[in-house]
Amino acid sequence: MSVFNFPKWYDLHVHFRQGEPVADYIQAHIDMGCAGILAMPNTQPPVARVSGKNTDTYWTIENYLRDLQKAEGDAFSDIIIPLYLTPDTTPEMIIEGAKSGALHSAKYYPPHGTTNSEHGAGLETYMNNGVFEAMQDAGVILNIHGEEHGLSGEAYFGANSNAEDYFYRQRMPALVEKFPDLKIVCEHITTKTAVDFVSSANQNVAATITPQHLMFTVADLLQGLKYHLYCLPLVKFEQDKQALLAAARSGNTKFFAGTDSAPHAVKATQCGCAAGCFTGGIAPQLYAMGFDLDENNADAFKKFLCTNGAEFYDLDIPTETFTLEKKPSNPEVKSNATPLHKGLGIELNWTLKL
């Protein structure tokens, strides 16, 4: 019987949204052994100010943090909320935010790249207006959604390239060269190109990987059009999945867990499909399935899920633990969104206990 004991972990990329459902989403994260979280700022309006009152245009980290804490988020030891970068973000805002202790990271969204990402600007804006420089100086981490915006057809998703591939070949080298001391997390990477880029970049460059990108390819999405697997960046090809798995299993400290769990109450409609997989309550089980967790890779799994990310963000490794047992489970997750295993109709190979 395989039973593994791990320290509680940090989900370093999750969407908790806003309003009444937040409490259920947070509970699902607590139920899967999360000690802390990095909650993405793409609410409506976006969290694009550090402190002060919310306005119709922008919310503040201070207020969104309070909202999450009120929705039982005070059970978490740490909550990081990145600042949503917009053309209105200033270097002064970064410096002051960091000094106040409220600002730890900031998120780059390609304009119109994914859910509620219409407020961002192109990468060159922040490379040239002093914002990235201020982040580098103040030690504020950059969370980057690495996809080129404005592409379509073959350039967006083709056999030989795609929006992420393009971004890591054409944009990232210049960014890292210009700001070598800027700590960067390449969020939810999905391609061999991104794995190779992060592996060969300096030690300030790391990456999160979601469970679904370790488990599935675009074939799984397309066969039967399983829209619950529709997320951005899209699941890619077998060689990409193998590169992601090799990176995660390598124990390399640059790669760590960030689920990108993104609940949508209504996933598919008559005119499209919301991007995002909801993996609250089930992520460690999915990661263990992707990893094919066993005695030989349990140490690498622990680094990937529990310690690499915490160390990159300078968070304490929790003393509390949870267990994963190799025993099928089909957990109910209380939520208005469909968790990925139910959406795909799969049983989990692992049972999680706190």
Please report how close the Cβ of residue 133 comes to Zn ion at its closest, in angstroms: 25
Catalytic residue among 260, 292, 294, 314: 260
Residue 11 a catalytic site member: no
Number of chain residues interacting with Zn ion (CB under 5 A): 1
Burial class (CB in 10 A: 0-12, 13-18, 19+), 229: buried
Find the binder of Zn ion among 67, 147, 164, 260 (CB under 5 A).
Answer: 260
User: Can you tell me whether residue 124 is helix, strand or coil?
Assistant: helix
Residue 11 or 260 with smaller CB distance to Zn ion: 260
Instruction: Write the DSSP symbol of residue 306.
Output: I
Residue nearer to Zn ion on the CB measure, 217 or 279 = 279
Pairing of strands 184-186, 205-209: parallel
Q: Which residue is nearest to Zn ion (CB)?
A: 260
- C-alpha distances in Å from residue 147, one per residue of 19, 46, 157, 286: 29, 20, 11, 25
Q: Report the candidate in 261, 14, 299 with the shortest Cα–Cα distance to residue 307.
A: 299
**Nearest CB to Zn ion, comparing residues 38 and 50:** 38
Q: Is residue 209 helix, strand or coil?
A: strand
The edge-to-edge listing of strands for the beta sheet with 351-353 is 3-7, 321-325, 351-353
322: its two tokens? 């949870």
SS3 at position 130: coil
> Least Å distance between CB 288 and Zn ion?
22
Q: Choose the binding region for Zn ion from 58-66, 253-261, 277-285, 301-309 (rule: CB under 5 A).
A: 253-261
Query: How many Cα atoms sit within 13 Å of 216 on the Cβ side?
Result: 24
Cα separation, 116 vs 106, whole angstroms: 16
Q: In this structure, what are the phi and psi dihedrals at residue 284, rounded to the nearest 5 degrees?
A: -60, -35
The stretch near Zn ion (CB under 5 A) out of 66-74, 177-185, 199-207, 258-266 is: 258-266
CB of 13 to Zn ion, least distance (A): 6
Minimum separation from the CB atom of position 61 to Zn ion (A): 17
- Which of 148, 260 has the CB closer to Zn ion? 260
The helix/strand/coil state of 29 is helix
Min dist. Cβ of residue 40 to Zn ion (A): 5
Residue placing its CB nearer to Zn ion in the complex, 67 or 260: 260
Q: Considering the complex, what minimum distance in angstroms separates the CB of residue 244 from Zn ion? A: 16
Say which amino acid occupies 61: I
Residues with active-site annotation: 260
Q: Site residues (CB under 5 A) for Zn ion?
A: 260
